[in-house]
Amino acid sequence: MAQSAKEFKKSLNLFGVVFLGLAWMTPMIFFTVYGVAFEAAGGMLAAAYVVAFVAIFFTAYSYSRMVKAYPISGSAYTYTKKAINPKVGFVVGWALLLDYIVSPIIACLTFGLFLNAQFPSIPVFVWIILLNVILAFVNIIGIKSVARVSGFSVIIQVIFILFFCAFVAKDIVSGGNGLTLLSFQPFFSSDFSLSTIFSGAALICFCFLGFDAVTTMAEETVNPRKTIPKAIFLIVTIAAVLYISISYLTQVAYPTFSFVHIDTASFELIQMVGGNALSALFTTVLIVATFTQGVSSVTSVTRFLFALGRESILPPKVFSYLHPKYKTPVINILFVTVITFTSILIDLDMAVTFVSFGALTAFTFVNLSVISHYYIKKKKRSPKETFLYLIFPLIGACFIGWLLTLLEPKTLIIGTGWIIMGIIYIGIRKFVLKKPLATIQDREIILDNR
């Protein structure tokens, strides 16, 4: 049977999905949030990253269960809609849309700011426009090109992190001050404070955001029911190993390290470890990482818009269109490109708050979706199944929900306002356009395991 014009081309394997997820997550984010995370965790970064990894692991598990049940584009929106309720699914999807659609804006802003710092004569908006055009082109020509770009970026980032760790390990071994590579000091110290470590972990959890984005690419993945869950756990585990390794080694090597400015703490650390040469390399890798994070985030949001268009939540003729040759949502890509031009006007801190609210809301409901789908609807209630489909995801929902309440009041107000806008939109559809949510087509995509 010929492939439908409304279907994506299956071209992603396990490594392609992992690279896309890591590129969206951006391993170099450890350095961009280093100062803030260091202060929040009271210097106990290694312990805080361990706690954050454990917390995220519960949600990663829930995503892996739900993608097996519904291996189609839509991510948390699809899972909540099908497992809990279409109306709840819409609210979660609307919150998630805020996360996904602002992510390319953050990438463009960061890219522009870094390059403007290196080339002050060229305004930030010039770099933003240039990156926007490149992101649109790479995404239009196909998902395989995105995977290649992401793979290159991730490899470069991992190599730099390993290179940095080698520098730090050398200082530990050859320092002559009695330090050894094996130490419990990064996890337990004389001024150990459990509450401080948990506060740091609450912030550090954001460094893991991105593993969920690969679920939006299920329809472009070969054998998604097996590939996507494996990719999710690989992405989270690789990120955890990198983050914990860097924080562990730096705490052992430089236990009394302090910085002057919180925003440039990572630059101060890099300068101390490797001087100007390592600092220049760091800046270059960070720019490459930011670029590919933009590529991956555009991929995710355009696939999510496609899912909303296919189900007529958004105008289907526009948002569910696929290019006949490239099999990519060209109109969605151009739409996102236009929105991302607003990064010229938006403040970076405000953009980050939008992402935090959307992501944590979605994470909470994905955990609850596992309980609804498997434990309540499928009645999987043996002792083992009760642990896997009730207790495990409930822990994840409670922890992530608690993190959501820790966001700044302004963030919660803005996020709530965004959700109210979505409810108004649905109200207009129902009472003005006479298109209630319950009648929106619920087209089930049957995915083969080729």
pLDDT at 147: 64
Q: Around Cβ 159, how many Cβ atoms within 10 Å? A: 11
Cα(431)–Cα(423) distance, rounded to whole angstroms? 12
Task: Tell me the torsion sign for CA atoms 58, 56, 230, 164.
Answer: negative
For residue 268, give the 3-state DSSP assignment: helix
Task: Tell me the torsion sign for CA atoms 231, 286, 354, 135.
Answer: negative
What is the third-level CATH fold of 14-439? Amino acid/polyamine transporter I (1.20.1740)
Q: Around Cβ 15, how many Cβ atoms within 10 Å? A: 13
For residue 221, give the 3-state DSSP assignment: strand
Instruction: Encode the chain (450 residues) as per-residue pLDDT tens digits.
Output: 344 445 656 767 888 888 878 877 889 888 877 887 888 888 889 998 998 898 889 999 999 899 888 877 657 888 898 899 888 888 888 888 888 888 888 888 878 877 777 788 999 889 999 999 988 888 888 666 666 767 788 889 999 999 999 999 988 888 656 567 777 777 777 666 777 888 788 778 777 877 777 777 777 788 888 888 899 999 999 999 999 999 999 988 888 888 877 767 787 898 888 888 888 898 889 888 888 878 878 887 888 888 778 877 788 888 888 888 877 889 999 999 999 988 888 776 677 667 778 888 888 999 999 999 999 999 999 999 999 999 999 999 998 888 788 777 888 898 899 999 988 988 887 787 777 664 444 444 433 333
- CA nearest to 35, candidates 237, 187, 257: 257
- Find out whether 100 and 306 touch, Cβ atoms under 8 Å: no
Q: List, in order, residues 6 or more apart from 31 with CB less than 8 Å away.
A: 266, 269, 270, 282, 286
- CA nearest to 67, candidates 235, 237, 213: 213
* Residue 392 Cα distances to 2, 329, 385, 406, angstroms: 42, 36, 10, 22
Task: Locate 365 and state its tokens.
Answer: 């409901």
Cα(155)–Cα(152) distance, rounded to whole angstroms? 5
Cα(8)–Cα(365) distance, rounded to whole angstroms? 27
- Find out whether 229 and 55 touch, Cβ atoms under 8 Å: no
- CA nearest to 8, candidates 443, 305, 447: 447
- Find out whether 402 and 345 touch, Cβ atoms under 8 Å: no
Cα(111)–Cα(99) distance, rounded to whole angstroms? 18
- What is the signed CA dihedral for 138, 142, 148, 149, rounded to 10 degrees? 20
pLDDT at 70: 83
Task: Locate 434 and state its tokens.
Answer: 């006479």
Cα(308)–Cα(312) distance, rounded to whole angstroms? 6
